[in-house]
Every structure is written in structure tokens, then in C-alpha cells.
């Protein structure tokens, strides 16, 4: 089993997730992923500075504001925001980062490695969970 598969299994076994870039727009992955994680009984939080709440759930303006320790951060933001979010994730003690397609570039991945975060990319959590249904 390669490192990515192992990290993916570890991530999916974790129960507390945050979606950075959650949105109320049901056509976007920021919404679909958040909703799918909840449907699969993950305790799921959302971060987006443009929202106070979505469907009755409090949405936090930054990773720093999250009320409890998060296991996995699912990145659904452009690389320029992702790179800033990595520092916040590290400071908050989040170990695992799942980069959705389009949320990273070499600079972002290099920074994640420098921060010694466990990362997964080239994969989509939404597609993964749908396959398990």
C-alpha cells in the first residue's frame, strides 16, 4: 500500500472534520463535501468568512475559531487561501489535510510538507464517500 492510500485510510477513520471553503451553494463542492461528510456521520465543521451559518450550523470565519480539536481539514479553497490556511491548521494541531482538486499547487504542497502535515491530493473525498454508499 502506498503512503497516500495509507493516509487516506487513516483520514477516513477520523471522525472530526472541517471543510475550509464551505458554501451554501448546493452546486459547489464546498457544499457537497460538507453535506456528504455529515451524511456519513462525520462530525463536520465549516470555515468560510462569508457565512455565519448554513442550514442551522454555525460556520466559523477561520480555523482558529473552531470550538474543538479537528482531525482532518478538507481544503476547498484556491491555493492562495490554502497556503494561509495551512499555518492556521498547524497552529490548531490539525494533522491531516485533504486537498481537493484545484486547491493546491507546488508551493502549497511544499509548505504542507515543511509543516510536516499528513496530506492527500489528487483525490476527492466526495467521490470516495459516494463510492462507499
- Predicted local distance difference test score (pLDDT) of residue 4: 84
Domain housing 66: 16-132
Each residue's pLDDT tens digit, 70-108:
999 999 999 999 999 999 999 999 999 999 999 999 999
Would you give the DSSP letter of residue 51?
Answer: -
Tell me whether residue 2 is in a domain: no
First to last CA, the chain: 23
Tell me whether residue 87 is in a domain: yes
List for the chain the helix, strand, coil content (%; round to 5): 40, 20, 40
1 pLDDT more than 60: no
CATH code of the domain covering residue 52: 3.40.50.720
Tell me whether residue 4 is in a domain: no
Confidence class for position 2, pLDDT limits 50, 70, 90: low
How many domains does the structure of the chain reveal? 1
Each residue's pLDDT tens digit, 53-64:
999 999 999 999
Amino acid at each position: 500500500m502506498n503512503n497516500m492510500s495509507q493516509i487516506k485510510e487513516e483520514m477516513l477513520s477520523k471522525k472530526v472534520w472541517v471543510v475550509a471553503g464551505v458554501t451554501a451553494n448546493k452546486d459547489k463542492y464546498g457544499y457537497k463535501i460538507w453535506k456528504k461528510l455529515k451524511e456519513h456521520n462525520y462530525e463536520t465543521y465549516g470555515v468560510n468568512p462569508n457565512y455565519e451559518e448554513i442550514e442551522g450550523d454555525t460556520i466559523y470565519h477561520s480555523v482558529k475559531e473552531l470550538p474543538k480539536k479537528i482531525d482532518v481539514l478538507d481544503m476547498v479553497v484556491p491555493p492562495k487561501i490554502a497556503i494561509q490556511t495551512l499555518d492556521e491548521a498547524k497552529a490548531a494541531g490539525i494533522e491531516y489535510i485533504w486537498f481537493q482538486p484545484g486547491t493546491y499547487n507546488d508551493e502549497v504542497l511544499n509548505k504542507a510538507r515543511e509543516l510536516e502535515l499528513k496530506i492527500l491530493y489528487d483525490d476527492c473525498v466526495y467521490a470516495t464517500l459516494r463510492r462507499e454508499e
